[in-house]
Structure 1
Amino acid sequence: MRPHKVTLVLLAVIMLGTACSRLTFIRPKGGMKAIDVPRTEYDVRDSKATQERLEERNSLGLAEQRLRVGDLETAEREASKALKLNPSSAAAYTLLAIVADRRGQAKAAGDDYRKAAELSPQDGGMLNNYGAWLCANGFPAEALVWFDRAIAAPGYNNPTAALANAGGCALQTGQYERVESDLRKALALDPKNAYALVSMARNEYRLGHYMDARAFIERRLTAAPVDAGVLQLAVDIETKLGDMAAAEKYRQRQRAEFPNATAASPGDSARP
């Protein structure tokens, strides 16, 4: 199961408006009616910088909107337009990374995630995104460095994803001393965090604590939609516990929902 990656945050388009008062109403002494006294009329226009900033935000908003519905071509075009207007836009690089990732262009995605993280070194979300890409693409040790930066980033108010990712990634590197610590911190913040739950199940399976592994995999099964790997882990756990009826139930579900999945041998799914 892949680490948590990017959670798209709605890019609000801030409309900058200008208001001009063209008439001043004066009430003279002596009970006279108010009269309109024209003042100098100003024609306030947006500066070029303001116009470009608005265009950038509009393009980012449209790119995200199209990405949500799977229109990768338009999303890429609008994100590229935003990047041309602002070459330092971490949001634009992130959107381009997601597009590349969905197209299976792993290297291009990694380059863009890294650029976004470098442009926003204090943004925990951007740091977590790049760490997740590293962990999912065979660089778990390096990924942990970026997760730690994300967790420590000032103003990162919701480090759940980075903690869950760090715990799951540490399982790959064999840094078992931090696996349970990071995962339990993530679950304390979000008891239904799917990646933390399945990673805890895998860790308990690794330790031979099959009853505990069952408890975590059952929580994982109800927390979010599953993939073939989650069901295979459930099969493995029930097999170790000797409950062949439960194992077969999960195996049948796996065949029904993921007919093209290749069944792993017992224990294989215990690895992230």
Structure 2
Amino acid sequence: MAIATGCNRLSFIKPDYTRSDFRRTAPELDVVTDDRSKGAANARTAVQQGQLAYTRGDLAGARKAAVEALERSPEFAAAHTLRALVADAEGEVEVAGDHYRRAVELAPQDGGALNNYGTWLCANGREQESLQWFDRALADRGYRTPAAAMANAGACAVRAGQGGLAVKYLDAALGLEPRNPVALAAMAEHEFRAGRAFHARAFSQRRLAAAPADARSLLLASQIEEKLGDKDAAARYVQRLRAEFPDTSGSGAGENGKR
């Protein structure tokens, strides 16, 4: 938590409660307020408390703090972002979207809020629409984690079928953060879709070395090895997928994730 003269900048990294792919994450809460009223001060305190609860995994406590902050200061963008993050983690998709959207309405030039909303759009089948919000996030010169928005934009461009654009975003993200797991996973997926399985394998291996595996990365790794004809390697990834993510549908090898 950094306190600056004349404003409060509230930042934290969202924990990955679902252990799913990037589309369920909103990496940063980073919004500014100059409101010095008593209500705003109380709201800031509530958001700080909610941040601590959230990072501990206490979603109920974080939700309570976000609601309190919104009651104190309904136009405090950080409170909307915190409420959105909690709703996202709890699977309340529309509630999350409403609060992410309200945060960018209140803080239209804040990179963290813009990235969060773009991530939510991409997670909910609006990949093409999400790209403009990542571009807006990158236009914020004070945005401290631009590689996050670049990686998310690239991954969404892959899903939108815009391979050329995806590579531009992903190359830029990896230029800043060579071990960015979102960018590495998206490059692996792009290369696999393009029929370049050897290149896909290299990015997949880098992704799995960069951060703990999620279900999507293990499934893609099994599909890549299946395509390359290494049945044993594909089977090992499938075993990991079934052991680490037993509730994942299609936890097998092959194009559709099924054996």
Please classify the TM superposition score into its range, dividing by the shorter chain length: 0.7 to 0.9
8 Å contact 1:3–1:195 — kept in the other structure? Answer: no
- 2:4 matches 1:7: no
8 Å contact 2:30–2:78 — kept in the other structure? Answer: no
8 Å contact 1:197–1:220 — kept in the other structure? Answer: yes
Q: CA offsets, 1:215-245, max 9 Å, x none?
A: 0000011111112221111111111111122
Distance 1:234 1:254, change over 3 A: same
Of the structure 1 ranges 146-155 and 52-61, higher mean CA displacement relative to structure 2 is found in 52-61
User: 1:214: Cα distance to partner?
Assistant: 0.6
Partner of residue 197, structure 1: 184
Give unpaired runs (5+ residues) of structure 1: 12-48
Structure-2 separation of matches of 1:110 and 1:198: 25
**1:78 is paired with a residue of what secondary structure?**
helix
TM-score of the two chains, using structure 2 as the length reference: 0.83
8 Å contact 1:4–1:161 — kept in the other structure? Answer: no
Query: Partner amino acid for 1:114?
Result: R
8 Å contact 1:193–1:223 — kept in the other structure? Answer: yes
- 2:249 matches 1:255: no
| 1:236 maps to which of 198, 223, 226 | 223
Give unpaired runs (5+ residues) of structure 2: 1-20
Partner of residue 84, structure 1: 71
- Map 1:27-46 → 2, pairs under 5 A: none
Q: CA offsets, 1:95-144, max 9 Å, x none?
A: 11011112211001000000001111111110000000000011111111
Distance 1:152 1:267, change over 3 A: farther
| 2:163 maps to which of 176, 189, 198 | 176
| 1:106 maps to which of 93, 114, 120 | 93
Structure-1 separation of matches of 2:242 and 2:26: 29
Q: CA offsets, 1:54-106, max 9 Å, x none?
A: 32221111111112223223222222222222222111000110111122110
- 2:129 matches 1:142: yes
- 2:175 matches 1:188: yes
Partner of residue 222, structure 1: 209
Distance 1:183 1:268, change over 3 A: farther
TM-score of the two chains, using structure 1 as the length reference: 0.79
8 Å contact 1:4–1:195 — kept in the other structure? Answer: no
Structure-2 separation of matches of 1:118 and 1:50: 21
Runs (4+) off by over 4 Å: 8-11
Partner of residue 208, structure 1: 195
Structure-1 separation of matches of 2:37 and 2:98: 29
**2:226 is paired with a residue of what secondary structure?**
helix
Partner of residue 246, structure 1: 233
Partner of residue 36, structure 1: none
Query: Partner amino acid for 1:246?
Result: A
Structure-2 separation of matches of 1:219 and 1:112: 35
Q: CA offsets, 1:24-56, max 9 Å, x none?
A: xxxxxxxxxxxxxxxxxxxxxxxxx55434322
Distance 1:86 1:69, change over 3 A: same
Q: CA offsets, 1:146-170, max 9 Å, x none?
A: 1111112232242111111111101
**1:3 is paired with a residue of what secondary structure?**
helix
Query: Partner amino acid for 1:167?
Result: G
8 Å contact 2:223–2:255 — kept in the other structure? Answer: yes
| 2:107 maps to which of 98, 120, 134 | 120
The structure with more radius of gyration: 1
Aligned length: 233
Structure-2 separation of matches of 1:233 and 1:140: 20
User: 1:176: Cα distance to partner?
Assistant: 1.6
- 2:81 matches 1:94: yes
**CA-atom RMSD in angstroms:** 2.1
Structure-1 separation of matches of 2:30 and 2:139: 24
